[in-house]
Amino acid sequence: MKLKTDTITGRIDETIDVLQLVKNQSDLIEHAANLIINAFKAGKKLLICGNGGSAADSQHIAAEMVGKFYRIDRPALPAIALNVNTSIITAIGNDFGYDKTFVRQVEALGQKDDVFFSISTSGNSVNAVEAAILARQKGMKVISLTGDSGGKLKDLSDITLMVPSNNTPVIQNAHITISHIICELVENEF
């Protein structure tokens, strides 16, 4: 039984330690929220993407923006998770290759001054990197949520929120915390 207890407390402690370090990025988190707020106020939209657990986080963020975070007395905010339409993803994957799943959607949906929000624990997901390159070319703002190194997305982003860890589940714990904070900051402006 002690082995399970050690695992439980160890993972909780590790997540707490990483979240303590994330506090050092408070200004960047606020800046990311302001990019999204300004886009929404200008009639622009938020395109979010991720793979695996990060795909679930992308969908979660879009739901908070379109539905509500805390408040039901505010307008729906235009956010789209690019990983949720299986017909689009499988068609693009089949016809163009999986690496094109997000770039093709940025091509179709992204407009100047929209925000592209990429979630990748490594920062190197090829489909996210290719979409970030096109987003920048289209004049979109790019926010990336990554792990410790920032990966290739770091150099392609206006803002990179790098969680100081190499442990994927712990990075994902921090990603959803950061995302919830951004959702709250955005919602407070509408």
Residue 95 has pLDDT above 90, yes or no: yes
Q: Which CATH superfamily is domain 2-187 in?
A: Glucose-6-phosphate isomerase like protein; domain 1 (3.40.50.10490)
**Rounded to two decimals, what is the model's pTM?**
0.95
Q: How far is CA 49 from CA 6, 57, 187, in A?
A: 34, 9, 20
Q: Where are the domains of the chain?
A: 2-187
Residue 1 has pLDDT above 90, yes or no: no
Per residue in 38-92, pLDDT (tens digit) is: 999 999 999 999 999 999 999 999 999 999 999 999 999 999 999 999 999 999 9
Query: In the predicted model, what is the mean pLDDT of the chain?
Result: 97
Residue 117 amino acid letter: F
